[in-house]
C-alpha cells in the first residue's frame, strides 16, 4: 500500500513549524502539537522513528537541524514513506545548491510549497526526479554561498518528459563521440578461521555505467549468469558454451531496466539515463574466487617476546596485479619494540591501532611475499591475562578481476540513426571485510 500521507511537517529542533502541507482532511491541524508533546518533549526521538498517538501514525526523520514528520491516519507502507523523505530531501538539495537546513527552508519556502504540490498528490507520492521537475518548475532556489554547483538550465519538451515512458532521459541529446563505460565493482567479505577454513564468504557487487550517447538508444547487456544462459540455450535449442555460469542473489535494478523483457528473455534491456548511474546491484554466496590467501603464524615466547610470520599468496593470474595492499596484524597493547624482515613492500608498527602494518603498493599475481617480525613486550607486575587475538585485516584493490567470476558477454547499443559506439568494460575487486583469525 502506498504512503497515503495526511500531512507533512518540517520542524526545527525546538519543535517550531517551518513549513507544513495538509493533503487530506482526516487529521486536524493540531496534530503537530501531539508530536511535540508526546515525542519531542519526552526525549524519545532517537528510540524509534515510527510512533502511534491516538489513531494516527507519525513517521519522522532528522536531516541536519530539521525534523521531517509524515502523519498517516491509516495503514501505510513505512519503507515507502522514508524513501519518499530521502528522495524529497535530495530534490530540495538539487534546488538549493546542496544545502538542506533550517535556513535553506526559510529562504525557499515558496519554492518548497510548489514542490510539495508536485511530488505528492492527495497523500500519494509522485515523480521526485530532479531532472524532470526542473523542466517545468524553473524557479531558482536561494543557493548556499558555499555551493559552487552551476544552475541547471531548463530544456524544451517538458510535457513529453513528464508524461512519457522514459522519464529519466530527455530527448535531443547529441554527442560527437558516442561512448559507453561499464564498471563491475565487487567487494569481497571473508571471515577465515585460524585453521584455514572459511567461516563466512560472500561478494557484493554493482554495475556502474556512464553513458554519453546521442538520441534514445536501446541497450542490451548479457552476463554469464546462470538464468540468462539457461534461457539462451532454450531459445537456441542447444547447450551454451559460455564457460562458467554465475548464480546471482538479491538482484536489484535501476528503474530504466525493462523488467518485462528481463523476465521473458533474461537479458538486461534498458534505455539509459544520460551520464553516470548504477545499473544493478547483486550478491553472490557460492563459488567465490578469493584473490588472496593469508597464512599467519604467531608464537608467544614467554611474557616479553613474540614472533610473527605472515605469508600472503596472490591467487589471481600472473599477468594481473593488486594495488594498495595493506595487511594489519594485531599485537598486544604493551608492545615496546619491533623489528621486521619483508620480501616485498614495507612494514612498521602503528601504536595508535596496536597493529603491525604491512603495505605493498603493487602486488603481482601468483607470488608469495612474506613478512617476519620480532615483537618485544613490556613486562608488567600485574597478573597476565590471556591475549585475545583479533583477526588479521586486509585491504586491496585488484583491477580486471572479479571474485564472483561475473563477466560481460555482450553489450549491444541500438539506435535508429545507426551510429557507431565505443564500449569500455572494466572489472574491479576490492576488500570489504577481509578478516583472518590467527
Give residue 151's pLDDT band: very low, low, confident or very high (50, 70, 90): very low
DSSP 272: P
Q: Cα(351)–Cα(331) distance, rounded to whole angstroms?
A: 9
Q: What is the mean pLDDT of the chain?
A: 84
pLDDT of the residue at 155: 46
DSSP3 helix / strand / coil % (the chain, rounded to 5) = 20, 40, 40
Cell of 158: 517538458
Query: CA–CA separation, 229 vs 222, rounded Å?
Result: 9
- Give me the pLDDT at residue 237, please: 47
CB atoms under 10 Å from CB of 122, counted, come to: 10
> How many C-beta atoms lie closer than 10 Å to residue 56's C-beta?
19
How is residue 167 annotated by DSSP?
A: T
pLDDT confidence of residue 417: 86
Closest residue by Cα to residue 40 from 60, 23, 56, 70: 60
Q: Dihedral through CA 136, CA 140, CA 144, CA 146, nearest 10?
A: 80
Confidence of residue 97 (pLDDT cuts 50, 70, 90): confident
Predicted pLDDT at 44:
64
> What grid cell was written down for 187?
567487494
Phi, psi at 321, each rounded to 5° = -155, 155
Same fold, 7-134 and 179-287+405-433: no
| 261 class by beta-carbon count within 10 Å (0-12 exposed, 13-18 middle, 19+ buried) | middle
174 contacts: CB under 8 Å, gap ≥ 6: 214, 215
Q: Average of pLDDT values for 343-361?
A: 94
Q: What is the average per-residue pLDDT within 69-90?
A: 86
**In Å, how far from its chain's centre is CA 267?**
23
* DSSP SS3 for 333: coil
59 has a pLDDT exceeding 80: yes
Print burial letters for 8-45: b (CB count within 10 Å at least 16), e (below 16): bbbbeeebeeebbebbeebbeeebbebbbeebbeeeeb
pLDDT per position as a tens digit, 381-426:
555 567 788 999 999 999 999 999 999 999 999 988 888 999 999 9
- Give the pLDDT confidence score for residue 236 in this predicted structure: 52
- pLDDT computed for residue 214 by the predictor: 93
Please report the DSSP string for 98-121 in residue order: S--SHHHHHHTHHHHHHHHHHHEE
Assess contact for 246 and 405: CB atoms under 8 A.
yes
pLDDT recorded at residue 400? 93
What is the architecture, at CATH level 2, of domain 7-134? Answer: 2-Layer Sandwich (3.30)
CATH class of segment(s) 292-380+388-399: mainly beta
* Phi, psi dihedral angles at 420 (to 5 degrees): -85, 145
In the beta sheet, which residues pair with residue 72? 57
- The pairing of strands 7-12 and 66-72 is antiparallel
User: Going edge to edge, which strands form the sheet with 370-377?
Assistant: 292-301, 305-314, 370-377, 335-342
Which parts of 22-65 fold into alpha helices (H)? 31-35
pLDDT tens-digit series, residues 10-46: 988 888 888 888 888 777 767 778 777 777 777 666 6
Which segment of 145-149, 179-183, 220-224, 272-276 scores lowest on mean pLDDT? 145-149
| pLDDT value of position 242 | 46
Q: What value does the mean pLDDT take over residues 189-193?
A: 92
| Strands of 332-419, DSSP E | 335-342, 346-350, 355-364, 370-377, 392-399, 408-414
At 191, the pLDDT band (50, 70, 90 cuts) reads: very high
| Contact predicate 114/137, CB 8 Å | yes
Write the pLDDT tens digit of every residue in 192-251: 988 878 899 999 999 999 999 999 999 999 988 766 555 555 545 444 444 567 888 889
Q: What is the mean predicted confidence (pLDDT) over 275-295?
A: 92
Q: What is the mean pLDDT of residues 182-198?
A: 91
Site of grid cell 527552508: 105
Residues 276-299 as b/e (b if ≥16 CB within 10 A, e otherwise) read ebebbebbbeeebebbbebebebe
Lowest-confidence range among 82-91, 124-133, 257-266, 305-314? Answer: 124-133
Looking at the chain, the whole-number percentage of residues with pLDDT higher than 70 is 86
Domain spanning 179-287+405-433: which CATH class is it, in words?
Answer: mainly beta
Count of beta carbons in the 10 Å neighbourhood of residue 241: 7
Q: What does the pLDDT average to over 353-370? A: 94
**338 falls in which pLDDT band (50, 70, 90)?**
very high
State yes or no: pLDDT of 129 exceeds 70.
yes
> What are the b/e assignments for 68-91, b being 16+ CB within 10 Å?
bbbbbbeebeeebbbebbebbbeb
pLDDT at 176: 92
**Domains in the chain: boundaries:** 7-134, 179-287+405-433, 292-380+388-399
The answer to whether residue 371 scores a pLDDT higher than 90 is yes
pTM over 0.75: no
Banded pLDDT at 152 (limits 50, 70, 90) = very low
Residue where the block lists cell 577481509: 434
Amino acid at each position: 500500500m502506498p504512503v497515503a500521507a495526511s500531512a507533512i511537517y518540517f520542524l526545527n529542533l525546538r519543535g517550531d513549524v517551518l513549513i507544513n502541507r495538509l493533503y487530506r482532511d482526516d487529521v486536524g491541524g493540531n496534530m503537530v502539537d501531539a508530536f511535540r508533546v508526546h515525542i519531542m518533549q519526552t526525549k524519545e526521538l532517537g528510540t524509534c522513528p515510527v510512533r502511534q498517538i491516538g489513531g494516527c501514525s507519525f513517521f519522522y526523520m532528522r536531516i541536519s537541524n530539521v525534523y521531517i514528520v509524515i502523519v498517516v491516519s491509516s495503514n501505510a507502507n513505512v519503507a515507502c514513506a522514508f524513501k519518499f523523505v530521502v528522495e524529497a530531501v535530495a530534490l530540495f538539495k538539487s534546488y538549493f545548491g546542496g544545502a538542506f537546513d533550517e535556513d535553506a527552508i526559510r529562504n525557499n519556502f515558496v519554492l518548497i510549497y510548489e514542490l510539495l504540490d508536485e511530488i505528492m498528490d492527495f497523500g500519494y507520492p509522485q515523480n521526485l526526479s530532479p531532472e524532470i521537475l526542473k523542466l517545468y518548475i524553473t524557479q531558482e532556489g536561494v543557493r548556499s554561498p558555499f555551493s559552487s554547483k552551476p544552475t541547471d538550465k531548463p530544456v524544451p519538451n517538458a510535457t513529453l518528459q513528464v508524461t512519457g515512458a522514459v522519464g529519466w532521459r530527455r530527448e535531443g541529446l547529441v554527442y560527437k563521440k558516442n561512448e559507453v563505460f561499464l564498471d563491475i565493482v565487487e567487494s569481497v567479505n571473508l571471515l577465515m578461521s585460524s585453521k584455514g577454513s572459511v567461516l563466512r564468504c560472500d561478494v557484493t557487487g554493482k554495475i556502474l555505467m556512464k553513458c554519453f550517447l546521442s538520441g534514445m538508444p536501446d541497450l542490451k547487456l548479457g552476463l554469464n549468469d546462470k538464468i540468462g544462459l539457461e534461457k539462451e540455450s532454450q531459445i537456441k535449442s542447444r547447450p551454451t558454451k559460455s564457460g562458467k555460469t554465475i548464480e546471482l542473489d538479491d538482484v536489484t535494478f535501476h528503474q530504466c531496466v525493462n523488467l518485462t523483457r528481463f523476465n521473458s528473455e533474461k537479458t538486461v534491456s534498458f534505455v539509459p539515463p544520460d551520464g553516470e548511474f548504477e545499473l544493478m546491484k547483486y550478491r553472490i554466496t557460492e563459488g567465490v574466487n578469493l584473490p588472496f590467501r593469508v597464512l599467519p603464524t604467531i608464537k608467544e615466547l614467554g611474557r616479553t617476546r613474540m614472533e610473527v610470520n605472515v605469508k600472503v599468496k596472490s591467487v589471481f593470474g600472473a599477468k594481473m596485479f593488486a594495488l594498495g595492499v595493506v595487511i594489519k596484524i594485531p599485537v598486544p597493547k604493551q608492545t615496546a619494540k619491533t623489528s621486521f624482515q619483508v620480501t616485498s613492500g614495507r612494514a612498521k608498527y602503528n601504536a595508535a591501532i596496536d597493529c603491525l602494518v604491512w603495505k605493498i603498493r603493487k602486488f603481482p599475481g601468483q607470488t608469495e611475499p612474506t613478512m617476519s617480525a620480532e615483537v618485544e613486550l613490556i613486562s608488567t607486575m600485574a597478573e597476565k591475562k590471556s591475549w585475545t587475538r583479533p583477526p588479521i585485516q586486509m585491504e586491496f584493490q585488484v583491477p580486471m578481476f572479479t571474485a564472483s567470476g561475473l563477466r560481460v558477454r555482450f553489450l549491444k547499443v541500438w539506435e535508429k540513426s545507426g551510429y557507431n559506439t565505443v564500449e569500455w568494460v572494466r572489472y574491479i575487486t576490492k576488500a570489504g571485510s577481509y578478516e583472518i583469525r590467527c
